[in-house]
């Protein structure tokens, strides 16, 4: 039995029931449902979840506003969030990712996929718990190795020559396999203090990175209309 506590924020009873049913079936007995944004804000304090499924279209306070409040509060900012969204909410998805939500699943979703995303995210977050400075500086994903301190990178053991910006972008992506980053997030997270980087420049940079990755170019996946992510397939041994 898993000990993680899962909060489901969803006003549609049928969807909440479906998620609850599959959580039980897969051995996650600790879960609660909140049907409004107000209830969600309360439950995060009372229930202290390890992960949140967040519907964006809620009565009262919207899912995005709930997300914004959590991310602005240091006590709740690190709780991973998977947004549950409708197809028509693509622009909201981008806003949510930029606010700091970790992932999203579009309704109607397959419960198996939802649970797989949840497990991957829980794994990623527990792995991120306080590694030592040295461990934290070395990143190993699939054929790629990166040292954040020395700013060196290797592909299949061969040195990989990257510009300053390319290193930052690749490190950010590779450090979170499967997580989607919008172009704007990549611009904000990876630019230097005075770099006039635009969203278009990110596309150019990704092109250059893929060229340097050669036969591993598919490590960086395009998420249409949203941005980029590091392939989860390649990252898991």
CB of 21 to Ca ion, least distance (A): 18
Given 6, 11, 80, 153, the residue binding Ca ion (CB under 5 A): 11
Nearer residue to Ca ion within complex by CB, 86 or 115: 86
* Closest CB to Ca ion among residues 11, 50: 11
Q: How far is the CB of 84 from Ca ion (least distance, A)?
A: 8
Window 42 to 81, contacts with Ca ion (CB under 5 A):
55, 57
CB nearer Ca ion, residue 57 or residue 139: 57
Q: How far is the CB of 110 from Ca ion (least distance, A)?
A: 18
Least spacing, CB of residue 58 vs Ca ion, in Å? 6
Toward Ca ion, which CB reaches closer, 16 or 99?
A: 16
The DSSP annotation for 136-161 comes to HHEEEETTEEEETTTTEEEETTEEE-
Q: Which residue has the tokens 């497990």?
A: 119
Alpha carbon distance 107, 41 (integer Å): 23
Q: Between the CA atoms of 40, 41, 42 and 46, what dihedral angle is there, to the nearest 10 degrees?
A: 90
Closest residue (Cβ) to Ca ion? 57
Q: Which is nearer to Ca ion, 91 or 140 (CB)?
A: 91
- Give the CA radius of gyration of the chain: 19
Residue 17: CB atoms within 10 Å: 13
CA atoms within 13 A on the CB side of 219: 28
CA–CA separation, 92 and 90 (whole Å): 5
Q: How far is the CB of 12 from Ca ion (least distance, A)?
A: 5
Which stretches of the chain bind Ca ion, using CB under 5 A?
11, 55, 57
């Amino acid at each position: 039995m898993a000990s993680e506590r899962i909060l489901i924020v969803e006003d549609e009873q049928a969807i909440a029931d479906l998620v609850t049913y599959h959580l039980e079936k897969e051995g996650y007995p600790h879960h609660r449902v909140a049907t409004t944004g107000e209830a969600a804000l309360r439950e995060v304090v009372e229930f202290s979840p390890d992960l949140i499924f967040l519907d964006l279209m809620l009565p009262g306070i919207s899912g995005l506003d709930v997300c914004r409040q959590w991310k602005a509060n240091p006590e709740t900012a690190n709780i991973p969030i998977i947004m549950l969204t409708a197809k028509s909410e693509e622009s909201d998805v981008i806003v949510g990712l930029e606010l700091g939500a970790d992932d999203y699943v579009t309704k109607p979703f397959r419960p198996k996929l939802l649970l797989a995303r949840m497990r991957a995210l829980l794994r990623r977050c527990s792995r991120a718990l306080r590694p030592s400075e040295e461990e934290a500086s070395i990143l190993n994903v699939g054929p790629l190795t990166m040292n954040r301190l020395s700013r060196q990178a290797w592909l299949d053991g061969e040195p990989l020559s990257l510009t300053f910006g390319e290193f930052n972008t690749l490190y950010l992506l590779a450090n979170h396999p499967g997580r989607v980053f919008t172009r704007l997030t990549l611009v904000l997270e990876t630019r230097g203090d005075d770099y006039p980087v635009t969203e278009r420049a990110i596309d150019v940079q990704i092109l250059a990175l893929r060229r340097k990755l050669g036969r591993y170019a598919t490590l960086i996946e395009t998420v249409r209309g949203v941005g980029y992510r590091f392939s989860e397939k390649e990252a898991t041994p």
